[in-house]
Structure 1
Amino acid sequence: MANTSGQATIKGLPDSMRACQILEYNKPHQLRRIPTPDTLKPYDLLLKIAVSSLCHSDLEYQNGALDCTLPVTGSHEGTGVVIAKGDAVTRFAIGDRIMAGQTFDRCGECDDCKGPEKYQHYCEQQGPMMSTQRNGAFQEYLVVDARQACRIPDQMSFLTAAPLACAGITIWRALLQTELKSGQWLGIVGSGGGLGHLGVQFAKAKGLNVIGTDARDDGLSLSRAVGADLVLDARLGKQEVVREVFKVTGGRGVDATITVSDAKPATATACAITRRHGTMVYVPVGHEVCIPFQDIIFRDICVKGSFLCSPKEATEMLDLVVKHNIKVNTTIFHGIEEIPKAVDMLRRGKYQGKGVIVIDEDAVKRE
């Protein structure tokens, strides 16, 4: 690589690569050939993508609920092998297996960057986010910020790591936001989904008692399979769910709740099952949050929003997954050409857990 004005020029790659992009809102993702990245800034990594994953937010990007710069390559859940790096990168070497971060070019100087670990990814001065203002992981080669990336543990596969790049770090940070201690009660509304089933396992690994609610038969069965102490069918109605939760928690309710369901009644149910002065952490994107005033005023429920986590917190999550043998429930698709089908199936709720797309079959076989 030659260095010109702070940028390194990449040699030896094909001029174009396959990608699956959003070209128009409310239209299917399109398979295209686009230019291969050819320069790196000092803190950039170039990954040869091995496995990427499909997030529910990809549907919000597709339907225009969240602003994107079109055309843009989908997926902010990417893993791959470092094949080139900028001059300032010292933490990673060529050949390292990487879980990509979503953010780029944090300023490093604002209150968020210098504040508590849990604030760092909120930097308002940071560069464009992956799969919104810059291309994501549904392509063969991807530039990521080394300062936001994590090395994948040797014991972990690309197939496990890819969903953790968003689903994992999102539910992990939400769990950290509850500030619960071992032995306390956690409720997860939407416990049988891509985030929820990881949240159940993370919580159990931290010694919490977990009550899961879901409104789908497969979500209920997955909640039980991953170890929730009590699983409740949200279709029974808010009153019945509240009654069952208060019965098992000695009339107090859970100490905190994480809402990962985007169903309209979910937040009201989450607040209702939370004890007086407890905390409800809200995660979904794409619509307004509706909470009865009684829960906020008369029961003093504290509402927190949660987004992503820092690279340090993400690394701790990866270590926890390995230590406790946490399983990611996935449906695997092979090849970039399968992505439009995977997106359509996600929209129609036709698979369980996380949709994972193998981009580089050879990289996965080598593991």
Structure 2
Amino acid sequence: MLGRPGTALTTLFSNSIPKVQKAAVIAKTGEKVQIKDDHPVKQPDQLKPGECLVRLHCTGVCHTDLHASLGDWPIPPSVPLVGGHEGVGEVVAIGKNTMGSPVKVGDRVGIKWVAYSCLNCEQCRKGLEQNCADVKLSGYTTDGTFQQYVQSWVNIVTPIPEGISSEAAASVLCAGVTVYRALKQAGTVPNDWVALPGAGGGLGHLAVQYAKVMGLRVIAIDGGEEKRRLCMDMLGADAWIDFTETKDIVSEVKRITGGRGANAAVVTAASSGGYTQAVDYLREGGTLMAVGLPAKAQLNASIFFTVFKNICIRGSYVGNRQDAIEAVNIAASGRVKVHYTSKPLKELERVYEDLGKGKIAGRVVLTM
């Protein structure tokens, strides 16, 4: 029976939902991903009130997924584990006795990094759902989107509007949301300069576009001709710096900005160098938004000049439910385009290899 919003009638297709599925499983961190055909599917009658089952169309691949596979972050993942946290699919079942669900069976929805938060604690009420004490993280502390069916929660999934493909929406749900929130918090105004180390990557190429939507002037920093073409010719960055060829990035940023320096930097690169340089090339009153998460690097900044220049250093960790809705809606309007390559799930290990070598321009989306 098909459920309607605000009712508890929430199960459909129960006879067509398989018992097992294809999934990419991390048995132990540091080992290769195993593609299994017999991973169990949670059945509709096993769903608790507030839970839903989503049949995935596709899922993005994020550098975070590689860290989960390697287990090289200070907070280890829960293994064995199905990775992934950028899934888009269709709600096929909702737990019985779920009242007031904002989504219904048949809706297209997205699965994000924040798989669950209580929505009632102090952090959740302040819009820091990602810092909820009871948070569950897709593909890190709970099974994620590298599978055909995933269990989620009706109040956490993101409705996907018309006007955007499932493949594009998948990448926006993490990469897009993350940079969009960081740019919102950077304290900039239209016509300000923002430097984007890692601009040609999965997060960075979306940051270029969201920054342009906000009326900012963009300095794209990355390496290689492919990424230069992406940032400058396709995305409309105002200036380009190739870190493989430029000996003094700080001086080059200052030259581009008339000697003043950038108003803000959103560092999506997973290296410590991007952070250290940003503190030096920011102008007085500038803001460094720390987004990329190197496994073991430290942030080294001159305390004297950080204070003397009134530099603000702020961490920005993904985004909340409202950030996700805004980021997806902007992309659905056509103002932000995800540049991605589609690959089958079985190629995940090779994608990880390319991610580790920094060879991927844009994003990779896996078809299910």
TM-score by length of 1: 0.89
Matched to 1:107, the amino acid is C
Say whether 1:108 aligns with 2:116: no
Matched to 2:339, the amino acid is N
Match 1:70 to one of 57, 60, 79: 79
What is the alpha-carbon distance in structure 1 between the residues aligned to residue 254 and residue 113 of structure 2? 39
Equivalence for 1:37:
42
Matched to 1:227, the amino acid is G
Match 1:291 to one of 276, 287, 300: 300
- Whether contact under 8 Å (1:44, 1:89) holds in the other structure is no
Offset at residue 111 of structure 1 (A): 1.8
Find the residue that maps to 1:178 and give its secondary structure: coil
Offset at residue 297 of structure 1 (A): 3.3
Structure 1's unaligned 5+ residue stretches are 360-367
Find the residue that maps to 1:312 and give its secondary structure: helix
Matched to 1:19, the amino acid is A
What is the alpha-carbon distance in structure 1 between the residues aligned to residue 244 and residue 346 of structure 2? 37
What is the alpha-carbon distance in structure 1 between the residues aligned to residue 218 and residue 244 of structure 2? 19
Say whether 1:328 aligns with 2:328: no
- Whether contact under 8 Å (2:111, 2:173) holds in the other structure is yes
Offset at residue 296 of structure 1 (A): 2.0
What is the alpha-carbon distance in structure 1 between the residues aligned to residue 24 and residue 308 of structure 2? 49
> How many pairs does the alignment contain?
349
- Whether contact under 8 Å (1:271, 1:291) holds in the other structure is no
Find the residue that maps to 2:147 and give its secondary structure: coil
Equivalence for 1:363:
none
After superposition, residues 314-353 of structure 1 pair within 5 angstroms as 314-334=324-344, 336-353=345-362
Equivalence for 2:367:
358
Match 1:22 to one of 11, 21, 26: 26
What is the alpha-carbon distance in structure 2 between the residues aligned to residue 208 and residue 183 of structure 1? 5
Match 1:166 to one of 159, 168, 174: 174
Say whether 1:308 aligns with 2:318: yes
Find the residue that maps to 2:185 and give its secondary structure: helix
Offset at residue 251 of structure 1 (A): 2.1
Matched to 1:302, the amino acid is C
Match 1:266 to one of 258, 264, 274: 274
Equivalence for 1:96:
107
Find the residue that maps to 1:49 and give its secondary structure: strand
Q: Give per-residue Cα distances to partners, 1:318-365, cap 9 Å, x unaligned.
A: 11112243211111103x322223223322334321111111xxxxxx
What is the alpha-carbon distance in structure 2 between the residues aligned to residue 59 and residue 204 of structure 1? 29
Matched to 1:144, the amino acid is S
- Whether contact under 8 Å (1:260, 1:283) holds in the other structure is yes
**RMSD between superposed Cα atoms in Å:** 2.0
Find the residue that maps to 2:114 and give its secondary structure: coil
Say whether 1:181 aligns with 2:189: yes
Find the residue that maps to 1:288 and give its secondary structure: coil
Structure 2's unaligned 5+ residue stretches are 2-7
TM-score by length of 2: 0.89
% identical aligned pairs = 30
What is the alpha-carbon distance in structure 2 between the residues aligned to residue 96 and residue 328 of structure 1? 22
